[in-house]
């Protein structure tokens, strides 16, 4: 069941802690609440994936520590009144200003806003689903499908999140998963596909790296 | 540990205060300290960049009065406006961070050194530092962007 505006609002202040939804900050509820969604804003950090000196993406290649920074691309952190120009065909990672904490019986989905979509702005490439039990900022996979650069600023409402009530709470919500790679992220995080066992294998070193994700 | 810190710092408070006041910074009032104390409670659960004017209980009661097809848009917007958050000062966020550290440090050390100092698991301490720093950094970012958005939303004079 898709939650309505008032159902989302009630979840934000639900007296039962296991039903409570956290979305913070809500700066202007009148603008942010839609009939069945909540608008989300752009944060200050961006990650541009570099392609210089890289022929392709191969997760089997284990980067040295000094290469990893280069491979992950360039991090750009704007001031609160800064600007970022997204050029046609460009793909960058960014994140929501809002921090989320979903209860175990709510799932979410992030989508773009029509007004921005009409300028060619896409806010996610494929991964728009938010698991029940997730906490952290959501990642935007921004790309410009238009023909003109788009100027972006922190605080702009470029996306919206809708919430689905599940028929029953998840038995293994995101926070309890054995490999919750992006749990409680407070800033955008690049791909951690290299933590997946089918990529990194099950060597003691790989298992040790994965075990750090489980420390709370 | 909090009381030991109090005992250590209290005799120095006046001289520290006079040195800080020479910098002509905005005074950190008792109300700021109270805000920091209340923010501290949520630090590990969410960023602490802002607060609502009314309690969750009050807002929930207001929402419960609304009825589908009966409440007017003005009534609904009025109830939703209670969700508008007010950004807190950076000094309050940082003070909340220090208060949290003072209150949590001992428990983290016990988890880091589970066998009285032998076989320390420094990853536990690293995760604690990473998590609290991450939340504080995000809180400062949110407060700055929040203030900037409000500045843009304010009617031009």
Q: Tell me the pLDDT band of A7, cut-offs 50, 70 and 90.
A: very high
Which of A7, A72, A111, A141 is an active site residue? A141
Q: Tell me the pLDDT band of B157, cut-offs 50, 70 and 90.
A: low
Cα–Cα distances in Å, from A60 out to A157, A198, B67?
Answer: 37, 10, 56
| A208 lies in some domain | no
Q: Which residues contact B17 (CB under 8 A, 6 or more apart)?
A: none
- Mean pLDDT taken over chain B: 88
| A81 lies in some domain | yes
For B112, which residue in chain A has the nearest alpha carbon?
A215
b/e string for B113-130 if b means 16 or more Cβ within 10 A?
beeeeeeeeeebbebbee
Q: What total of structural domains would you count in chain A?
A: 1
Dihedral sign for Cα atoms in the order B97, B98, B100, B106: positive
Given a cut of 80, is residue A64 above it in pLDDT? no
CATH assignment of the domain containing A45? 2.70.40.10
Centre a 10 Å sphere on the Cβ of residue A31 and count the other Cβ atoms it contains: 13
Q: Distance from B61 to chain A by nearest Cα, in Å?
A: 9
CB–CB of A9 and B63 under 8 A? yes
> What SS3 state is found at B109?
helix
Residue A141 is a catalytic residue: yes
Predicted structure pTM score: 0.86
| A209 lies in some domain | no
| A12 lies in some domain | yes
For the segment B113-154, what is each residue's pLDDT rounded down to a tens digit?
Answer: 877 667 788 888 888 899 999 999 999 999 999 999 999 988
| A215 lies in some domain | no
pLDDT of residue A198: 77
Q: Distance from B129 to chain A by nearest Cα, in Å?
A: 11
Range of the domain at A87: 5-191
Q: What is the ipTM of this complex?
A: 0.86
pLDDT of residue A69: 55
| A168 lies in some domain | yes
For the segment A150-200, what is each residue's pLDDT rounded down to a tens digit?
Answer: 999 999 999 999 999 999 999 999 999 888 888 889 998 887 877 777 777
């Amino acid at each position: 069941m898709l939650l309505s505006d008032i159902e989302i609002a009630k979840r934000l202040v639900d007296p039962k802690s296991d039903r409570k939804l956290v979305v913070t900050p809500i700066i202007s509820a009148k603008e942010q609440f839609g009939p069945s969604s909540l608008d989300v804003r752009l944060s200050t950090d961006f990650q541009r994936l570099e392609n210089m000196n890289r022929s392709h993406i191969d997760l089997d290649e284990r980067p040295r520590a000094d290469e990893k920074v280069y491979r992950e691309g360039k991090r750009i952190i704007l001031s609160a009144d800064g600007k970022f120009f997204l050029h046609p065909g460009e793909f960058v990672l960014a994140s929501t200003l809002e921090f989320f904490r979903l209860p175990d019986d709510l799932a979410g989905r992030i989508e773009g806003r029509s007004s921005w979509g009409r300028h060619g702005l896409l806010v996610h490439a494929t991964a728009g689903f938010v698991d029940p039990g997730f906490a952290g900022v959501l990642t935007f996979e921004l790309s410009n499908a238009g023909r003109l650069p788009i100027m972006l600023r922190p605080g702009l409402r470029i996306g919206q999140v809708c919430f689905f009530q599940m028929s029953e709470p998840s038995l293994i919500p995101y926070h309890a998963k054995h490999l919750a790679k992006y749990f409680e992220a407070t800033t955008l995080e690049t791909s951690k596909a290299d933590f997946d066992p089918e990529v990194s294998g099950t060597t003691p070193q790989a298992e040790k790296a994965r075990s750090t994700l489980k420390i709370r | 540990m909090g009381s030991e810190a109090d005992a250590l710092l209290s005799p120095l408070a006046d001289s520290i205060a006079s040195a800080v006041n020479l910098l002509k910074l905005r005074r950190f009032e008792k109300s700021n300290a109270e805000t920091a104390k209340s923010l501290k409670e949520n630090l590990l659960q969410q960023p602490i960049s802002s607060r609502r004017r009314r309690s969750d209980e009050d807002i929930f009661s207001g929402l419960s009065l609304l009825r589908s097809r009966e409440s007017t848009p003005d009534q609904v917007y009025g109830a939703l406006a209670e969700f508008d958050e007010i950004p807190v000062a950076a000094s309050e966020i940082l003070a909340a961070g220090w208060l949290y550290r003072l209150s949590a440090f001992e428990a983290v050390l016990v988890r880091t050194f589970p066998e009285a100092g032998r076989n320390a698991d420094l990853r536990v301490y690293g995760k604690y530092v990473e998590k609290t720093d991450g939340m504080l950094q995000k809180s400062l970012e949110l407060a700055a962007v929040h203030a900037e958005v409000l500045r843009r939303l304010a009617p031009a004079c």
